[in-house]
Structure 1
Amino acid sequence: MGKKKLLVMTITTVLTMTSILTGCKGSNTTPTNSSTNNTPQVINVSTTQDPATLDTSKLADSASNTVAQETQEGLVRLENKKLVAAGAEKWETSTDGLTWTFHLRDYSWTDGKKITAQDYVYAVKRLFEPSIACPNAGIFYVVKGGEAYNTNKGKAEDIGVKAVDEKTLQFTLNTPTPYFLQLMNFVNVLPLRQDIVEKAGESYGTDPKALVYSGPFVVDQWVKGSKVILKKNDKYWDAKSVKLETANINLIPEEATRQQMFDGKSLDLIQNVKQEYSTKLKDKIDKGEVTSIIGYYPSVGYIAFNNNDPNKIFTNAKVRLAFSLALDREGYVKNVTKKDQAAYGLVPYGLNNGDKIFREAASEPLKEVKGQDPKELLKQGLQELGLDQSKQIEITFLQRNANADTRVVGEFYQSQWEKNLGVKVKIDTASDGATFNKMIMKGTYQVAQTGWGADYNDPMTFMGLFITGDGNNSAFFSDSQYDELVKKASVESDMTKRLDMFKQAEKILIADKAAIAPLTFNVASNYMQSYVKGLDIEAGGPSYELKRVYIEKK
């Protein structure tokens, strides 16, 4: 991995905090051989939404990602901000950087069957299978033949991945890719058992009892709408490092409820809290009852405009820019979310371009156009669309769910746009997070708030989202110049030239075409009960890494 720079540090235990990648992450890591004093090894954590699926070829949401990465073991794993050998014991690259060879360790699935290179070959080819529609397939187009097969222009057998033998896996790339090893930590390339997948058919990933596992934990129960219970996998190759016996992942959408449970110690970890709650916890921190990990987490919240809006309104760049500039971001983070940092660009802090932090080397493009009048932009845009301006424009904002916090946010946007643009804003509400995500990716919305967290330590994890046709292109944005710049930057080895390409592309996306409206860069506030030891929060990994966690005597 590239060099990382310390951004923010307010750690109350002896630990280091570095922003690296799915965001800002740190750990309160302690030696795994410390005594647990016969204390029950059970941790209670939370999620704000149900996992969408446990099918690693299809999932893209953070809740699913967390469960998958805690229960499966890929080639590499993030530990203490570093990629370490996991399913692979070692690997090497060819001198031209086009061939990567991984040598697997001797490890098994929970049913006792050995994990082989073919399990990885199957997983990689399946993520490119057009009928699977993996939303992250575009991220892996660096693999030879992957894009052709994924776009119905090639064959599966031509994909650049093969099993040299049972324990040797080989990738062939289109071009040298500096961040390729980081991609191997990605959830979509976790090993898959073909016989298990084919036996389950379309239902694969919905029933945890029908799955086999290769990671530190197994899914013991999945009570949809309530919780996921993980149990230690005694057959895991590194089981000696796993101290927890049980991890209860409780579905708790409301922050107020999470705060109450954390105060009552029925929740051992609370994340992304509002500033006033952080202030409230200061006394407990001073007393040593609570520890914290706080800093930039490379993720961005943004408004997605449907650039293919069937009502035409958001097909115009000036209209989109008007709606973007009409939002008071500073007031939003101060008075509404009461956390995070106002964002005027896509790429957040905490990501490297070579040995430099990208956001420190590139100004946020929306700041350069802040002086424009939103009402005048809207007027010009509507004229270009040929719409009758004598009638009040009405738009529909889609919000994720009906939770109290979500409603407050939606009402802020409604108020801002009605006040600053003179439009009418109707709020539509999805029944749940999974439905919201489906509506976004199918384009059955007009305007919505969504976001993205880094999957690896490089600006490409954000810039690649808005390439034409990408499975995660929530705005359905398409621009040939943007595509060309990002694709060239993805393979450019000169970091100065690469930085300039990314800067030009970000300006097109955010200011010139205003495909989306960036809102916030995440400043993660993670608090643990002081008896929780060894917790890691790794950007590019699960929301919380539990492999080396243990509970000290309470």
Structure 2
Amino acid sequence: MRKKKHLAITLATALVLATILTGCGGGKDTETNSSGGNTPQVINVATTQDPASLDTSKLADSASNTVAQETQEGLVRLEDKKLVAAGAEKWENSEDGLTWTFHLRDYSWSDGQKVTADDYVYAVRRLFEPEVACPNAGIFYMIKGGEAYNTNKGKAEDIGVKAIDEKTLEFTLNEPTPYFLQLMNFVNLLPLRQDMVEKAGDAYGTDPQQVVYSGPFVIDQWVKGSKIVLKKNENYWDAESVKLDTANIHLVPEEATRQQMFDGQSLDLIQNVKQEYSDMLEDRIDKGEVTSIKGYYPSVGYIAFNNNDPNKIFTNEKVRLAFSLALDRDGYVKNVTKKDQAAYAFVPYGLNNGDEVFREAVEEPLKALKNQDPKELLKQGLQELGLDPDKQIEVTFLQRNADADTRVIGEFYQSQWEENLNVKVNIDTASDGATFNTMIMKGTYQVAQTGWGADYNDPMTFMGLFITGDGNNSAFFSDSQYDELVKKASTELDMGKRLEMFKEAEKILIADKAGIAPLTFNVASNYLQSYVKGLSIEAGGPAYELKHVYIEK
């Protein structure tokens, strides 16, 4: 058997690229990497959709998060699976766990103005501002006064965040929170300049020229529907560590197009590829032209049922469970996506509960229900809804866009539900990713496929989504027992008790109440040209971390 030169890693916190082969780029134009003279420090990567905004108070999608985290510097940063000092040089937590104090380093915005503790205070207050409607606000409700202000029951000045002086920031919490430091890497807590936000008004975040930057890069161009061009931020505090001059982020929705671009070296990184393409790259790996990284990345794809379905169908838990169990997940990953792993649980591999990997300690709860008859469940559910179980029902599946891969996936669900449940499935197509996200969060859909990736290394980054009223609760799921368990787990310091709380809550979400239907756990197969060095992929960070990347001839 041929020796495989890719690096396989099972993750606890993140996937971190270790480049293990070298080679030359050769024959590329000025937008890429030429083979003569000094090697231009330019990288070409891809995204599947435009950022929704550059306004960090409102971000929740991967494309937006990636651009924000490459261009702004928060209190901490993820590097090689660890949180390291970034905007803050050091920090401490009080003995009772309720007060966190961060000491900022001396660093500046791209226009030369100093970053101060007040920039963080403004960012925190703004993410809780009701009119801003940050979808992630609920994640930070452990900050004293945050929930009250976010729900129009309190004042901004009562939120537990304050500037002790220009370089000292203090948080006050309602209760000790085991994962609070992990949250300091979160995109919504990046510093924010009040003068720039107020100057732009409602248009803030739409024009990169009206934004100032504190991170490794600045946005030089944003050609919507085409690309984003990042340039090195010469005012960045750690500019000496940044070797790239330019990062071109191309908008390429189609995987086949991304493969062609990678083969032609007009893309230097390709992520989450299908197995058949991965197999095709093995010869190039052996020749030293390409390097790879494979392993679990903490994210899950799932079917969201609108639990508030105006047509009533998906308001019933037995109907939802029938639609969930009618899906052949193993066939889906083998024959349709040709990548990833079938998921019978919601919390993916690669996340820790304390020192223990959660998914290794807790069996996937949906596996225990695989032998139930989905047709019988559907019949019972329709009867409970007062509908005739012998009359064919009709539902509408919302797909993200009209690209070829998305259509194939939508047709798989359509055929599975029509064949296994004898229902009529119509397919509705959103015009683009941003429209899809808006429709999901407004509840103007019946059933759709979506997903979630880890923002920090703890099960709460997933379980918190489906607390009643959470801004990211795409299924509008609501269950008082689930809420109670997850909220208790968020402050429980005994990791054994905490594990049992999450275990029971997960079972309620996907088996007992079937608020959603998990589909796949992401098993990342990522490849890059061998002349690219220092790139990492961090769970909870941007889709690709470019700060330490350099191009080697």
Do they superpose with TM above 0.5? yes
Task: Give the superposition deviation at 1:11.
Answer: 8.5
Structure-2 residue corresponding to 1:28: 18
1:225 aligns with 2:225: yes
Per-residue displacement from partner, 1:202-235 (whole Å, max 9, x unpaired)?
1000000011000000000000000000000011
Aligned pairs for 1:5-404 within 5 A: 12=5, 17=9, 19-21=11-13, 24-28=14-18, 38-404=38-404
Task: Give the superposition deviation at 1:386.
Answer: 0.1
What is the DSSP-based 3-state SS (H/G/I as helix, E as strand, rest coil) of the residue aligned with 1:475? coil
Q: Given that residues 11 and 292 in structure 1 are in contact (C-alpha distance below 8 angstroms), is that contact kept between their aligned partners in structure 2?
A: no
CA distance in 1, matches of 2:526, 2:449: 23
Structure-2 residue corresponding to 1:407: 407
Task: Give the superposition deviation at 1:20.
Answer: 3.8
CA distance in 1, matches of 2:111, 2:206: 19
CA distance in 2, matches of 1:368, 1:171: 43
Gaps of 5+ in 2: 21-32
What is the DSSP-based 3-state SS (H/G/I as helix, E as strand, rest coil) of the residue aligned with 1:103? strand
Q: Given that residues 11 and 293 in structure 1 are in contact (C-alpha distance below 8 angstroms), is that contact kept between their aligned partners in structure 2?
A: no
Per-residue displacement from partner, 1:34-72 (whole Å, max 9, x unpaired)?
xx9720000000001111100000011100000000000
CA distance in 2, matches of 1:547, 1:26: 13
What TM-score do you get using the length of structure 2 for normalisation?
0.95
CA distance in 2, matches of 1:390, 1:507: 30
What TM-score do you get using the length of structure 1 for normalisation?
0.95
Q: Which residue identity lines up with residue 339 of structure 1 in the other structure?
A: K
Task: Give the superposition deviation at 1:370.
Answer: 1.2
CA distance in 2, matches of 1:357, 1:279: 30
Q: Given that residues 216 and 239 in structure 2 are in contact (C-alpha distance below 8 angstroms), is that contact kept between their aligned partners in structure 1?
A: yes
Q: Given that residues 399 and 406 in structure 1 are in contact (C-alpha distance below 8 angstroms), is that contact kept between their aligned partners in structure 2?
A: yes
CA distance in 1, matches of 2:54, 2:12: 26
Aligned pairs for 1:524-539 within 5 A: 524-539=524-539
Task: Give the superposition deviation at 1:111.
Answer: 1.0
Q: Given that residues 11 and 294 in structure 1 are in contact (C-alpha distance below 8 angstroms), is that contact kept between their aligned partners in structure 2?
A: no
Task: Give the superposition deviation at 1:369.
Answer: 1.2
Q: Given that residues 28 and 534 in structure 1 are in contact (C-alpha distance below 8 angstroms), is that contact kept between their aligned partners in structure 2?
A: yes
Q: Which residue identity lines up with residue 313 of structure 1 in the other structure?
A: I
Q: Which residue identity lines up with residue 16 of structure 2 in the other structure?
A: G
Task: Give the superposition deviation at 1:29.
Answer: 6.0
What is the DSSP-based 3-state SS (H/G/I as helix, E as strand, rest coil) of the residue aligned with 1:131? coil
CA distance in 1, matches of 2:213, 2:477: 38
CA distance in 1, matches of 2:10, 2:425: 40
Deviates more, 1:36-45 or 1:160-169: 36-45
CA distance in 2, matches of 1:297, 1:20: 9
Structure-1 residue corresponding to 2:28: none
Task: Give the superposition deviation at 1:154.
Answer: 1.2
Per-residue displacement from partner, 1:180-203 (whole Å, max 9, x unpaired)?
111000000000000000110110
Task: Give the superposition deviation at 1:152.
Answer: 1.1
Structure-2 residue corresponding to 1:6: none
Q: Which residue identity lines up with residue 78 of structure 2 in the other structure?
A: L
CA distance in 2, matches of 1:118, 1:83: 23
CA distance in 1, matches of 2:8, 2:236: 28
Gaps of 5+ in 1: 1-9, 31-35
Aligned pairs for 1:461-472 within 5 A: 461-472=461-472
CA distance in 2, matches of 1:28, 1:301: 27
What is the DSSP-based 3-state SS (H/G/I as helix, E as strand, rest coil) of the residue aligned with 1:26? coil
What is the DSSP-based 3-state SS (H/G/I as helix, E as strand, rest coil) of the residue aligned with 1:387? coil
Task: Give the superposition deviation at 1:390.
Answer: 3.8
Alignment CA distance shift 1:516-1:376 (3 Å): same
Structure-2 residue corresponding to 1:4: none
Per-residue displacement from partner, 1:442-477 (whole Å, max 9, x unpaired)?
000000000000000000000000000000000000
CA distance in 2, matches of 1:62, 1:173: 28
Q: Which residue identity lines up with residue 360 of structure 2 in the other structure?
A: E
Q: Percent identity?
A: 84
Deviates more, 1:148-157 or 1:204-213: 148-157
Per-residue displacement from partner, 1:143-201 (whole Å, max 9, x unpaired)?
11111111111111111000000000000011111111110000000000000001101
Task: Give the superposition deviation at 1:484.
Answer: 0.1
Q: Given that residues 26 and 294 in structure 1 are in contact (C-alpha distance below 8 angstroms), is that contact kept between their aligned partners in structure 2?
A: no
Per-residue displacement from partner, 1:228-272 (whole Å, max 9, x unpaired)?
000000110000000000000000000000001101111100000
- Structure 1: 4+ residue segments shifted above 3 A: 10-13, 15-18
Per-residue displacement from partner, 1:276-298 (whole Å, max 9, x unpaired)?
00000000001110001110000
CA distance in 2, matches of 1:541, 1:443: 28
Q: Which residue identity lines up with residue 493 of structure 1 in the other structure?
A: L
Indicate the RMSD between aligned Cα atoms, in angstroms.
Answer: 1.3
Q: Given that residues 291 and 530 in structure 1 are in contact (C-alpha distance below 8 angstroms), is that contact kept between their aligned partners in structure 2?
A: yes
Alignment CA distance shift 1:485-1:253 (3 Å): same
Alignment CA distance shift 1:438-1:11 (3 Å): farther
How many residue pairs were aligned? 536
Q: Which residue identity lines up with residue 295 of structure 1 in the other structure?
A: G
Q: Given that residues 20 and 539 in structure 1 are in contact (C-alpha distance below 8 angstroms), is that contact kept between their aligned partners in structure 2?
A: no
